[in-house]
Amino acid sequence: MAISEEFLSALRDRTSIEDLVSSYVTLKRRGKNLVGLCPFHSEKTPSFTLYPENGSFYCFGCGAGGDVITFVRRMENLDRIEAIKFLAQRAGMRMPEDGFDDTLSKRRQRILAANREAAKFFHSQLLLPENSFALDYFTKDRRLSMQTVRHFGLGYAPGRWDALLRHMQQAGFSDNELADANLVRRSTKNENSCYDAFRARVMIPIIDIRGNVIAFGGRVLDDSKPKYINTSDTLVYKKSREIFALNFAKNSGERRLILCEGYMDVIALHQADFLFAVAGCGTALTQEQAHLISRYADEVLLCYDSDEAGQEALRKAIGIFSSIGMKIKVLKLTGGKDPDEIIRKFGRERFSALLDGAANDVEFRILALRDRFDVTTDDGKVQFLKSATELLASLDNLIERDVYTSRMADELNVDKAALNAQIEQTRARMRRQKKRTQMDDLTKSLTVRRDPLNPEMQQHYRAAKAEEAILTLLMNNNDFIAAVSDELSEDSFITSFHRHVYSCLMQCWNTSGEVDIPHLSAYFDPEEIGRVTRIYMKRGVYANTIDELRECIRTLDEEREKLTQQDVQIEDDDAFLNSFQRMKENKQ
């Protein structure tokens, strides 16, 4: 192991997994465990379970699982060493000076240092007299104050191909480090030659919630394309997971966030004292970004451009936030195509009024439907109501449906009972469709057992299920390990993944004398430990006896013998478990 087990044990003792996870997820107690909505995928019914007794978590929806270190790795996008450092700092512990390999961590730290130095360079270039045209773009064209320019660390990348490169080399950074940070790019003609990734653009640094400069957005000052270029994904930056200006907005004192499309919209809103404005770092909102926003806000106000692309992005964002149960309101921008233009034309009061008049997502979608039809005509009224009842049928909340149905019936002078009847017919059709979809998914899951972590499982299903049972029984009954040491080895396993898990299990046993999820997490990446946790959680399926374990080993031996004859039988889970029941009945 990279870091001593003594240090990790002390770190686990000083870290309450309940306190840690509660800072990210709203948890409710269910017996001795806790449950909540999973932060790693979208869901409306809690499937994320925390087990304080053994310091682990598992999501029955997406399969994420592990210990406190795994949780931090997933939530904060950190490697293992950095996650341990994060927890050590949180617990007030000093990391050991040696005894671990922090090569990847050092690479990340150098990228962060390079970004920080580059941000200083870009900002200093903006203030040079020869680059006054770039400063004019911010202060005259965009009407930003110098205080705002400094607050966001805005800058300018000179048009020369090696301006940043030379500065960074003099500051002690190697070409490899600069390429890692995506600050320079390698020439296609000569790989030993590099050039600046950003040239002749005003620069906007992207800062994470811990205050690190992790990336840049660069905008041209003319009509050339592309208008924006952004840092590509690096060891410290994944655009699908980051939110621009959240480092400022999280301290605004608000439990709501305005989500805009662009950096300049956010900067203009902050200058106008709307300090809870943020933007995505990609072209479209992602599930990861929505989950990050939900950690800092109870409500999100969607403020997208009024053009076709903006409205399409808005519709997608509504779907994503709705899927995670986030409260949504939608701003209808009037008087300008984006918040920046509205504030520059009419001032902050107009935008404040738009905030106050924001409709929730259902109201917005009803209004959008209404704009498509001429409800002054009978045909237009029928077409609108047909579409609107489809929307209302998708609402699970009965009171919410009743409010909108009553309003619609009054406004259009139609019978509310007729609307309710149409909605119920639509809901019945949707239930039938959902049931068909579930049956299709079930059929696929039973017939196509494709498993990216253990691809051999499809070919050797019975053997893989026996292996899985063996691992479950060993992890939950550590005293069985010595009892079957002469009957079981790595060579006993047919599938590579389960063989790897058994190998790590034995290393863990020989090192710490204990096998559980917190100890095993050191040997696996987050996706793998999620699968290992799932295997561990199956303890309730078995009787947890040594005879049962030996029966699994015999089953595995039989399957290994069959391989020579290429006669692998495929059984489903119920049939496999029934074999144990038959064994018990025969012994009675």
On the 0-12 / 13-18 / 19+ scale of CB atoms within 10 A, 206 is buried
Q: What is the pLDDT of residues 307-321, one digit of tens each?
A: 788 888 888 888 888
Task: Point out the least confidently predicted range of 7-16, 169-178, 497-506.
Answer: 7-16
pLDDT confidence bin for 579, thresholds 50/70/90 = low
- What does the alpha-carbon distance between residue 129 and residue 276 come to, in Å, rounded to a whole number? 34
Distances (CA, A) of 533 to 51, 164, 437: 11, 47, 28
The alpha helices in 357-450, defined as continuous H runs, are 361-372, 378-393, 398-412, 416-447
Within 10 Å of residue 47's Cβ, how many Cβ atoms? 16
Q: Mean pLDDT, to the nearest integer, of 359-373?
A: 80
Distances (CA, A) of 238 to 113, 122, 217, 232, 302: 17, 22, 13, 8, 22
Q: By the 8 A CB rule, do 12 and 20 touch?
A: no
Q: What are the sequence ranges of the domains in the chain?
A: 5-91, 104-237, 243-364, 373-446, 455-587
- What does the alpha-carbon distance between residue 227 and residue 447 come to, in Å, rounded to a whole number? 48
Length of the chain measured in residues = 588
User: Does 578 score more than 80 pLDDT?
Assistant: no
Domains 243-364 and 455-587 share a fold: no
The radius of gyration computed from the CA coordinates of the chain, to the nearest angstrom, equals 29
Q: What is the pLDDT of residues 267-280, one digit of tens each?
A: 999 999 999 999 99
Between residues 115 and 341, which one has the greater pLDDT?
115
Between residues 222 and 578, which one has the greater pLDDT?
222
Tell if the pTM clears 0.85, that is, is over it.
no
Q: Which CATH number fits domain 455-587: 3.40.1670.10, 2.40.160.210, 1.10.3720.10, 1.10.860.10?
A: 1.10.860.10
- What does the alpha-carbon distance between residue 132 and residue 112 come to, in Å, rounded to a whole number? 28
Angle at 376 between CA 371 and CA 380, to 5 degrees: 60
The alpha helices in 36-162, defined as continuous H runs, are 68-76, 80-91, 103-126, 132-136, 146-151
CATH of segment(s) 104-237: 3.90.980.10
The alpha helices in 195-262, defined as continuous H runs, are 246-249
Q: Mean pLDDT, to the nearest integer, of 500-517?
A: 91
pLDDT confidence bin for 568, thresholds 50/70/90 = very low
* Helix, strand and coil in the chain, % to nearest 5: 55, 10, 35
pLDDT at 447: 47
Q: What is the pLDDT of residues 372-405, one digit of tens each?
A: 888 888 888 889 888 888 888 888 888 888 888 8
pLDDT confidence bin for 432, thresholds 50/70/90 = confident
Q: What is the pLDDT of residues 68-98, one digit of tens each?
A: 999 999 988 888 888 999 999 888 888 886 5
- What does the alpha-carbon distance between residue 313 and residue 464 come to, in Å, rounded to a whole number? 44
**Over pLDDT 90: what percentage of the chain?**
47
CATH of segment(s) 5-91: 3.90.580.10
pLDDT at 302: 93
3-state secondary structure 511-528: HHCCCCHHHHHHHCCHHH
pLDDT at 130: 96
pLDDT confidence bin for 332, thresholds 50/70/90 = confident
Which amino acid would we find at residue 7? F
The CATH T-level fold of domain 243-364 is Dna Topoisomerase Vi A Subunit; Chain: A, domain 2 (3.40.1360)
